[in-house]
Amino acid sequence: MNNKEPLLDGLGRVHTNLRVSVTDRCNIRCFYCMPNVDVKFKRRDQLLTFEEIQRFVRIVAERGVNKLRITGGEPLVRSELPSLIRQLSDTPGIDDIALTTNGMLLAEQASALREAGLNRVNISLDTLDEETFQRISRRPGVDQTIAGIDAALEVGFDLVRLNAIAIRNLTEGELVPLARFARERGLELRFIEFMPLDAEQHWQSDQVLSGNEIRETIQREVGELTAAPRPDPSQPAVDYQYVDGGGTIGFINPVSEPFCGTCNRLRITADGKVRNCLFSTDDYDVLALMRDGADDREILDLVQRCLAAKKPGHGIDSDDFERPERAMYQIGG
Ligand code: SAM
Ligand code: SF4
């Protein structure tokens, strides 16, 4: 970083981490994220171009953002993604680029992404059972996703991790097979609690299978776990290691144990809205500003206004919790 002021919010949280959504489109329809039918996607001209994304990243990187996560929708459906990764990895100050993907198109793209400078990949997979996969995603895909995982392992990313959403009365039977699958392949596995960001708005708090419950199951059925060191206090996951050396397993518990106090994340949606939180009810239109000819200072001002409005926490558990208008695929997880 240079000696310019970092990106601070009103509580002094320093923002070094940017999540960039590159599309709201997806090749499957997970019920916890998208509607099944009649999805209203943005037109191509409503999305930030690669040049606009790169400009935004350059501006925030000058203020200390050094880590990027590319997400969506499904980021691999955006054409020419490796060329964006190349531009971003050449941006001064950016030293880590990660991707979150459902993995279905990864077998064909892993090598180009790695060559373009992508460092790490998180692949979302909630089940190894095709029938359960289709109940969740409303499309087929387990074998294709596993092919994507294997391709990612082959091209040698710095880290390949699995992300699994756990849902009560649906995925209890998937926890142990997923943990064993991850151990066999030497993959890190992270369980994420189901959050109220599903487009169909069916989320109920009793569907949340908490990280603690999952950990107890894994300990009982797979192997004893012990708390792992926490090198980065702003990481959302609480990690554990198998006592027998069989790898790491993490828990992201935004509902049962919110981690907002150490949040260092800023987001930009595919249609160019800057957001200070997954759950914020406001966003800041950087696409309109850029297309009106704004200079870098005006864009930075918008980011700073957005951060100044960041709340202490998401408040999912409070009585006056208000869901954002956007669902997960329209924000970028
Ligand atoms: N399509 C890619 C994928 O699925 O990995 C990237 C975008 S997706 C929105 C990013 C992550 O958000 C995925 O790991 C997905 O499982 C997770 N996710 C989606 N809806 C969620 C919800 N309601 N609660 C918790 N996590 C959710
Ligand atoms: Fe698509 Fe990812 Fe949303 Fe599933 S979670 S519908 S894969 S964007």
Give the chain's mean pLDDT: 95
Mean pLDDT of 10-32: 97
Which structural domain range is residue 35 located in?
Answer: 17-331
Evaluate whether residue 8 is within a structural domain.
Answer: no
277 pLDDT higher than 70: yes
Evaluate whether residue 11 is within a structural domain.
Answer: no
User: Mutation test of ligand 2: which of 203, 328, 330 has the most ligand atoms closer than 8 Å to its C-beta?
Assistant: 328
Contacts by residues 139-148 (CB-CB < 8 Å, ≥ 24 positions apart): 139/27, 139/28, 139/29, 141/28, 141/102, 141/104, 144/103, 144/104, 144/107, 145/102, 145/103, 145/104, 146/103, 147/106, 147/107, 148/101, 148/103, 148/104, 148/105, 148/106, 148/107, 148/110, 148/123
From the CB of 199, is ligand 2 less than 6 Å away? no
- Which pLDDT score is estimated for 245? 93
Give φ, ψ of 35 to 5 degrees.
-70, 160
User: Mutation test of ligand 1: which of 137, 192, 214, 251 has the most ligand atoms closer than 8 Å to its C-beta?
Assistant: 192
Could you tell me which residue, 255 or 42, shows the higher pLDDT? 42
Rounded to an integer, what distance in angstroms lies between the CA atom of residue 124 and that of residue 102?
5
Scan for tokens 């037109």, then name that residue: 43
From the CB of 102, is ligand 2 less than 6 Å away? yes
CATH for 315: 3.20.20.70
Which atom of ligand 2 is least distant from the CA of 100?
2
- For residue 332, how far is its CA from the centre of ligand 2 (angstroms)? 9
Evaluate whether residue 4 is within a structural domain.
Answer: no
- Pairing relation of β-strands 96-101 and 284-285? unpaired
What's the pLDDT tens digit per position in 157-190? 999 999 999 999 999 999 999 999 999 999 999 9
From the CB of 330, is ligand 2 less than 6 Å away? no
Total domain count for the chain?
Answer: 1
Evaluate whether residue 325 is within a structural domain.
Answer: yes
Rounded to an integer, what distance in angstroms lies between the CA atom of residue 234 and that of residue 262?
5
What's the pLDDT tens digit per position in 56-104? 999 999 999 999 999 999 999 999 999 999 999 999 999 999 999 999 9
- For residue 24, how far is its CA from the centre of ligand 2 (angstroms)? 9
258 pLDDT higher than 90: no
224 pLDDT higher than 50: yes
- For residue 27, how far is its CA from the centre of ligand 1 (angstroms)? 13
Evaluate whether residue 7 is within a structural domain.
Answer: no
Q: What is the pTM of this model?
A: 0.96
Residues with CB under 6 A from ligand 1: 26, 32-33, 71-72, 74, 100-102, 124, 163, 165, 192, 194-195, 197-198, 328-329, 333
Evaluate whether residue 9 is within a structural domain.
Answer: no
Evaluate whether residue 25 is within a structural domain.
Answer: yes
1 pLDDT higher than 80: no
Evaluate whether residue 5 is within a structural domain.
Answer: no
Question: What tokens does 140 get?
Answer: 């087929």
Q: What residue's CA is closest to ligand 2, atom 7?
A: 102
From the CB of 34, is ligand 2 less than 6 Å away? yes
